[in-house]
Structure 1
Amino acid sequence: MSPFLGEVIGTMILIILGAGVCAGVNLKKSYAANSGWIVITFGWGLAVAMAVYAVGNISGAHLNPAVTIGLAIVGDFSWKEVPLYILAQMIGAILGATLTYLHYLPHWRETADQGTKLGIFATGPAIPNPFSNLLSETIGTFILVVGLLTIGANEFTEGLNPLIVGFLIISIGLSLGGTTGYAINPARDLGPRIAHAILPIAGKGSSNWGYAWVPVLGPVIGGSLGAVFYLAAFKNQTGSALWIVLTIVVIVFAGIYGLSKEKNAPGMVKKSAIK
């Protein structure tokens, strides 16, 4: 099996099991209905572990564009392979979301709330705030990538690494996931969001494209920041990548903060509200 196909299958497994637990907990007339947040976080952690076990020896089981970019920054992965891996991850995520839809086919019609249906495919903020939401995704993915790099550097028994990574995902979900649903993976959010937009889901609403940039940009920034932090703190390497990433982070967050302040300024009145 090629690494490309490995990433497709691995990401597909990740989404089937991850979105599957969200569907089981949230869709009406499921035996797992209303099981709660802890079940979801453990489900996603086990989904990652199983996917890594499945294809880790084939593709390295990145399963996440933010991880792929982070590994390229630290020099553990070729930049030439990055676009191909991201494409594979997107394909796998869309396939996984589609299979989840088919698995729960009768339950979509039984579930009236449109937000619940979208939440099975994609993340959304508990409190909509672009600056804070982006910051949450950045911090969560920063912890993810630093965690992955440090776990890989330790001399654990090889067979335990995927399980330890799964526990890392559970920890992030329990501690940091309550603000945005912890996408911490652009493919995990964007792929299923595309599937939600395309699939004939009974009674579905908007795919909330206005928010879709947050779980893409936040993880990319967080993963890149995690990679340069690892190089600086653990490898004593402070090259140009560190300053490039830090500059981009400052510019992005300053810009979004400024736009948020302008939008929420007391003197700003929506045009449609003026009589």
Structure 2
Amino acid sequence: MAARLKLPGMLGELAAEFAGTMILILFGVGVVAQVVAGGLGDHDSIAWAWGLGVTLGVYVAARISGAHLNPAVTIALAAFKGFEWRKVLPYSLAQTLGAFVAALLVRWNYTEVLHQMDPGLTRKTQFVFSTLPGNGSLPVGHWGAFRDQIIGTAILLFLILAITDAANTAPAANLAPVVIGLLVVAIGMAWGTDAGYAINPARDFGPRLASFITGYGGAWRDKTGYLYWWIPIVAPIIGGLVGAGLYQGLIGRFLPSAAPQEPGEIPTPRENVEATRG
């Protein structure tokens, strides 16, 4: 007699997106705090910790929600991969809340070293939590950062779809999270100069809000006083749609058909949703 496995429902999916994004930010924001405020590590350790955070976050959430962990991913999957539009806002809110809570934990844990390094809680340590054009010091303007985030997130989505497409050469043995993590490491090493490679609205807005309510009064602005906070939200969404669209146009439409999978799933953890018993 055939029996359908019970799927988690919306509450379970939102809990998974919250938890997975929280794990991502605990490692990502945590390593920046360690490098900037504690003086331990360098750019490479930042890039690797962000990538490992992504890998671990995906392993946490993939079975239940598909582990988007990023509103730009969720929106792109809704636009091009059949993910339900009614879930886009709840997923995005869960992701942002997970990032916010994780950043609060990092802020609390690194209180002493942050205050020693930067007693006034200025932009000197603000970029521990959120991104700034030119990483706060290099000559990159607002529109340069906007361009950078479109390109970086387009690369992210193009390659996420390539890695997780069952009709393509997807990694075997549940290794897709590892490869996606390596992708984020590569983006960090190649595309981190102009705008700190946020490439994720939840990753930037959640920690930015956490820093603001814990003493960083200038969290919403850059060094010129411009209200910069919207750029790491809008530009990644545009970039995600561009990258996913390019993948579908250049690669996806030419691939042979594959076995059905859950729409929008990353990295397709629930390919078999039915179990039979004798």
Under a length normalisation based on structure 2, what TM-score does the superposition of the two structures give?
0.79
The answer on 1:142 being equivalent to 2:148 is no
Number of the residue aligned with 1:182:
197
Read off the aligned partner of 2:152 and give its amino acid letter. G
Partners of 1:94 and 1:205 lie apart in 2 by 17
Q: Aligned-pair distance for 1:75?
A: 2.3
Unaligned runs of 5+ in 1: 238-275
Read off the aligned partner of 1:137 and give its amino acid letter. Q
Partners of 1:87 and 1:162 lie apart in 2 by 22
Of 109, 112, 125 in structure 2, the residue corresponding to residue 117 of structure 1 is 125
* Structure of higher RCO (CA pairs closer than 8 Å, 6+ residues apart): 2
The answer on 1:101 being equivalent to 2:107 is yes
Count of aligned pairs between the two proteins: 230
Q: Aligned-pair distance for 1:49?
A: 0.5
> CA contact under 8 A between 2:162 and 2:170: conserved in structure 1?
no
* Pairwise CA RMSD: 1.5
> CA contact under 8 A between 1:11 and 1:93: conserved in structure 2?
yes
Measured against aligned partners, the alpha-carbon deviations of 1:1-46 in whole angstroms (never above 9, x if no partner) come to: 600000011111111110000000010xx3xx15211111111001
Read off the aligned partner of 1:5 and give its amino acid letter. A
- Structure that is richer in helix per residue: 1
Give 3-state SS (helix, strand or coil) of 2:14's partner. helix
Number of the residue aligned with 2:21:
11
Q: Aligned-pair distance for 1:132?
A: 1.2
Q: How does 1:147-162 map to 2 (within 5 A)?
A: 147-153=159-165, 154-162=169-177
Q: Aligned-pair distance for 1:205?
A: 4.4
Under a length normalisation based on structure 1, what TM-score does the superposition of the two structures give?
0.80
Of 227, 238, 249 in structure 2, the residue corresponding to residue 232 of structure 1 is 249
Partners of 1:188 and 1:71 lie apart in 2 by 18
Partners of 2:204 and 2:239 lie apart in 1 by 15
Number of the residue aligned with 1:74:
80
Partners of 1:11 and 1:129 lie apart in 2 by 29
Read off the aligned partner of 2:162 and give its amino acid letter. T
> CA contact under 8 A between 2:140 and 2:194: conserved in structure 1?
no
